[in-house]
Amino acid sequence: MSDFLKLVGIKKSFGGVQALKGIELAVGQNEILCLVGENGSGKSTLIKIISGDLKPDSGELWISGRMYKQLRPIQSLNLGIRVIYQDFALFPNLTVAENIAYSQLVETQDRLVNWREIREIAARAVELVQADLDLNEVVGNLSVANQQMTAICRALTRDTRFLILDEPTSALTKKEIDRLLQVVRDLQAKGIAVMFVSHKLNEVLAIAERVAVLRDGELVATLDREEATNERLVELMSGTRVTYSRYEAKPSNEPPLLEVKDLSKRNCFQDISFSLRRGEILGITGLLGSGRTELALALFGIDPADRGQIVVDHQPIKIRTVKDAIKAGIGYVPEDRLTQGLVLKKSVGENIAAVIIDRLRGWLGLIDNRAWNAAVERWIDELAIRVTSPEVKAQTLSGGNQQRVVLAKWLASLPKILILDNATAGIDVAAKSGIHQIIRRMARQGIGIILISDEIPEVVNNCSRILIMRKGRIAAEVETADVTEAEVQQLVELTEPRGKGEGMVASSL
Amino acid sequence: MRKLLKQTEFYLALVILLLSILITMYNPRFLSAENIFDLLKSFSVMGIMAVGVLFVLILGGTPDVSFTAIAQVAEYVVVIMTLRWGGNILLAFLTASLIGGVLGRLNGCLVNMFRVPTIIITIATSNIFFGLLYVFSQGQVIYVIHPLFRRFSEIRIGNLVSQHGVYFGLSLMPLIWLVVLILGWFVLNYTRMGRDIYAIGGSELAAERVGIPVRRTKLFVFTFVGVLAGIAAVVHAAIVQSAIPNSLVGQELDVIAAVFLGGASVFGGAGTILGTFLGILLLAVVNNGLTLLGVSSYWYNIFVGAVIVISITISAVQRIRQKKTRVKVQVDSEGWRV
Ligand SMILES: Nc1ncnc2c1ncn2[C@@H]1O[C@H](COP(=O)(O)OP(=O)(O)OP(=O)(O)O)[C@@H](O)[C@H]1O
Ligand SMILES: [Mg+2]
């Protein structure tokens, strides 16, 4: 079998950063190749070179036996290369139909626009992956999962020969992921080559035929499926071994830091009561739609609850707006950093200082530059954010590093309570464990942490207690000392809403 | 239909209607055909230019402010050329569009070359165009222009008699405006170029990634603005029957205000022809209303300023609200509603 794509000695640097240091890689004509590597190892950069988004400094791209020094985006498209980017690259002001049909429109070079044709193209693509999308909705109004589906549909409208997915699953639920993986296998069966980038090694192992590992811009190995194991990959990616260790909060008899009583919001969650002590990491897990994100949004004032009581440090408080929450010392790290957590066009420094800006004011209310720099530097250090300087725009950071910036922003505000909502999604294994260490350290310093996650190992290993939510209620509460990961997994699955729940999640795509 | 209630255009039309009723109650002359025809005629210059501004604002963010300077140059040159060599009205339109197109294209090239906001570049070029015009014309006003402009402006459709026994009819100027509106509407909604403009306004990065020729599209838009400025220049010359080097300058803010009023956003990617038309219409009604009610015309300037501030606020608020509903939509789509 000949190769669809062969890369020879691809190099690329940004200013001082050498993002790719001579990559040699081949992808067979209908092969599924997975690309893994830590945050900032150069995965997205490599993809952008294949898609023509970036020009390599040197090296050759061989596509179907022809050599190119560099590709222009339109060339790459015409060669049948489709990329679904980490940030989707959709048009928020256009409808789903137009977004899906756009690349085909560009290809046909027609000067006029036929709206019926646009709808037909879109409908066909949606049909192909059996997504349930409203073609007339404006993309800016869609949920992240639906935006992702839109991006996937768009990639399938034309004669696709090579599909590249850059972390396509970070915003999807388990079911949606399973369907996506199925779609990928179907595409392979139709003779399409696939390059799949993900931090979730279980997905990688489920779908890969070969796995290529990047580290610091170098291709350190390509493994066949049989040779690849979780441990091996992690070791190759990070150069070290990572093991999970459990966190134990020291027991204390202090009164709780946060008490929530009978908190309810119509159609979202009902009668939620729990308490959180200083230095405790409380896990909340449950399937998507169990109400956990909604609960977090309510505690942070984005979507306030209808009823119930919230007590922070013995003070009953009302949380109606985000400001109330911040005043009460609550911080929130969202799952969707791109729209909720980060201002992409601003510098890393400005992003980090955003919440604490008032504290950095000195004489006459002017920003105290020295304090500003000190704070920013400190948090860049603490979270080991890879940047050449705090001045660089958040946009240029790799996805995982962006997430660290969001985390830094909230940690810098020294909150009493920090809510992390799937905050480590899209972060590589080593970085994740780094972030867990940070969370633990913060907890030991007396912050109360609520860790919302659908990764069972993450909650079991980091939390002292876990709440399991189902249909908007707390279905179970366990002490992690008493349970194994498998048992928690079982509890979560047991609490899955049956019948209609399945239909609902699927149709919500 | 459900969407109708969410649209800027709907509210704009409502406001215009209410204002018209109000003004008519004080001065019934407002609703006379004569007054309305007059209004449409005198606002067709701004109306034509507004279509160009709409294109630029959809493309993204900051407005072009040099189009009045371009029109000014085109007007002056065409008036002088016709005086010297004669010609006909079609030729005048062609020449003016050509001059406008070239100057607009220059803006486009500069925008493509330097990654600076449009407003900055066009403030610069506007000063250059205007400065050159002054240097060459020495600020001279041309009071007598070629009669072809008068003949053109006197063409009337319909022959009505006013209460005072004066004959009047609909002038051709609003019809030219109408043609430009229809053209703009067609381009924006039914051509790739138009959709590309919206797409670039939505996300330039995404546009580049699907292979939209971003630079070429920008070049087109700025050229188009220039061409429309050229057309507006001839219409203006015909209406005022003179060429005054600074008669148009200063109107750019009014035009920009009208387009913002019509639903264009400082963030780009939004705005419609209908909205733009209604925006101009509202300015016209307010302007005319103030005159008919005998209120100082300075209030009109205040109104324009307020419109800009308010429209920008609205688009900012909408953006925030959109982010909020997004959170809501997510909640809904996670399978909670039965
Ligand atoms: N436009 C740019 N300007 C400057 N530096 C950049 C730019 N794009 C990427 N980089 C740098 O190049 C390196 C590789 O980034 P890349 O986005 O390819 O990483 P990645 O492997 O995709 O990471 P992640 O898993 O976090 O998405 C990083 O150090 C990043 O900061
Ligand atoms: Mg990446």
Ranges of each domain in chain B:
2-297
Q: What letter would DSSP give residue A255?
A: P
Q: In this predicted structure, what is the pLDDT of residue A60?
A: 93
Strands of the A193-197 sheet, one edge to the other: A81-84, A162-166, A193-197, A32-37, A210-215, A218-224
**Residue A397 CA, ligand 1 centroid: distance in Å:** 5
Please report which confidence band the pLDDT of residue A288 belongs to, taking 50, 70 and 90 as the band edges.
Answer: low
Q: In this predicted structure, what is the pLDDT of residue B66?
A: 94
Task: Find out whether A446 and A264 touch, Cβ atoms under 8 Å.
Answer: no
Of all protein residues, the one whose alpha carbon is nearest to atom 18 of ligand 1 is: A42
**How many CB contacts within 8 angstroms connect chain A with chain B?**
122
Q: In this predicted structure, what is the pLDDT of residue B222?
A: 96
Whole-Å CA distances, A347 to A338, A393, B202, B222: 14, 4, 22, 31
Q: Ligand 1, closest atom to CA A86? A: 27
Please determine, looking at this structure, whether the domain spanning A3-238 carries the CATH number 3.50.50.60: no
Yes or no, beta carbons of B199 and A74 under 8 Å apart: no
Q: Ligand 1, closest atom to CA A388? A: 31
Residue-by-residue DSSP string for A142-176:
S-HHHHHHHHHHHHTSS--SEEEEESTTTT--HHH
A90/B contact by beta carbon, under 8 A: yes
- Nearest neighbour of A113 by CB, restricted to B190, B202, B209: B190
Q: Using a 6 Å CB cutoff, which residues line ligand 1?
A: A 14, 17, 19, 37, 39-45, 86, 386, 396-401
- Which is more confident, A392 or A424? A392
Question: Quick check: A499 pLDDT over 60?
Answer: no
Please report which confidence band the pLDDT of residue A503 belongs to, taking 50, 70 and 90 as the band edges.
Answer: very low
Yes or no, beta carbons of A288 and B334 under 8 Å apart: yes
Question: What are the boundaries of each domain within chain A?
Answer: 3-238, 253-329+415-472, 338-414
Yes or no, beta carbons of A103 and B210 under 8 Å apart: yes
The stretch A436-444 carries a mean pLDDT of 85
Q: In this predicted structure, what is the pLDDT of residue B214?
A: 93
Specify the 3-state DSSP secondary structure of A346: coil
Whole-Å CA distances, B303 to A272, B49, B254, B281: 52, 20, 10, 14
Q: Which CATH superfamily is domain A253-329+415-472 in?
A: P-loop containing nucleotide triphosphate hydrolases (3.40.50.300)
Mean pLDDT, chain A, rounded, equals 83
Indicate which ligand has the atom closest to the C-alpha of A43: 1
A357/B contact by beta carbon, under 8 A: no
Of all protein residues, the one whose alpha carbon is nearest to atom 7 of ligand 1 is: A396
| Closest Cα in chain A, distance from residue B201 (Å) | 8
**Residue A48 CA, ligand 2 centroid: distance in Å:** 10
**Residue A166 CA, ligand 2 centroid: distance in Å:** 7
Please report which confidence band the pLDDT of residue A398 belongs to, taking 50, 70 and 90 as the band edges.
Answer: confident
Which phi and psi angles does A145 have, rounded to 5°? -60, -40
Specify the 3-state DSSP secondary structure of A187: helix
What pTM did the predictor assign? 0.72
Q: Which of A231-235, A417-421, A501-505, B229-233 has the lowest mean pLDDT?
A: A501-505
B263/A contact by beta carbon, under 8 A: no
**Residue A278 CA, ligand 2 centroid: distance in Å:** 35
| Closest Cα in chain A, distance from residue B117 (Å) | 15
Site to substitute for ligand 1 among A12, A34, A36, A45, most atoms within 8 A of C-beta: A45
Residues of A in Cβ contact (< 8 Å) with B189: 113
Which residue numbers in chain B have pLDDT < 50?
A: 325-338
Q: In this predicted structure, what is the pLDDT of residue A252?
A: 67
Task: Find out whether A195 and A168 touch, Cβ atoms under 8 Å.
Answer: no
For residues A112 and A123, give the distance between their C-alpha atoms in angstroms, rounded to a whole number.
Answer: 20
Yes or no, beta carbons of B191 and A505 under 8 Å apart: no
Site to substitute for ligand 1 among A14, A216, A428, most atoms within 8 A of C-beta: A14
Please report which confidence band the pLDDT of residue A142 belongs to, taking 50, 70 and 90 as the band edges.
Answer: confident
Handedness of CA B42, B43, B46, B47 (dihedral sign): negative
CATH topology of domain B2-297: ABC transporter involved in vitamin B12 uptake, BtuC (1.10.3470)
For residues B177 and B273, give the distance between their C-alpha atoms in angstroms, rounded to a whole number.
Answer: 12
Of all protein residues, the one whose alpha carbon is nearest to atom 17 of ligand 1 is: A398
Residues of A in Cβ contact (< 8 Å) with B194: 113
Cβ neighbours of residue A342 under 8 Å, at least 6 residues apart?
A: A351, A394, A402, A405, A406
**Residue A337 CA, ligand 2 centroid: distance in Å:** 14
Q: In this predicted structure, what is the pLDDT of residue A488?
A: 81
- Nearest neighbour of B203 by CB, restricted to A89, A144, A339: A89
Question: In degrees, to the nearest 5, what angle opens at C-alpha A313 toward C-alphas A307 and A314?
Answer: 65
* Fold matches, A3-238 and A253-329+415-472: yes
B185/A contact by beta carbon, under 8 A: no
Handedness of CA A80, A81, A86, A88 (dihedral sign): negative
Q: Would you state the structure tokens that stand for residue B227, as one six-digit string?
A: 């061409």
Q: Would you state the structure tokens that stand for residue A178, as one six-digit string?
A: 């399973």
| Closest Cα in chain B, distance from residue A154 (Å) | 10
Q: Near ion ligand 2, which residues have CB within 5 Å? A: A 44, 398-399
Q: Facing residues of A68 across strands?
A: A61
Cβ neighbours of residue A506 under 8 Å, at least 6 residues apart?
A: A132, A175, A179
Mutation choice for B interface testing from A91, A332, A471 by most B CBs within 10 A: A91
Question: In degrees, to the nearest 5, what angle opens at C-alpha B199 toward C-alphas B63 and B265?
Answer: 35
Instruction: Give, for A18, the enclosing helix (H) or strand (E).
Output: strand A17-28
**Residue A431 CA, ligand 2 centroid: distance in Å:** 14
- Nearest neighbour of A302 by CB, restricted to B193, B327, B336: B327
Question: Quick check: A233 pLDDT over 70?
Answer: yes
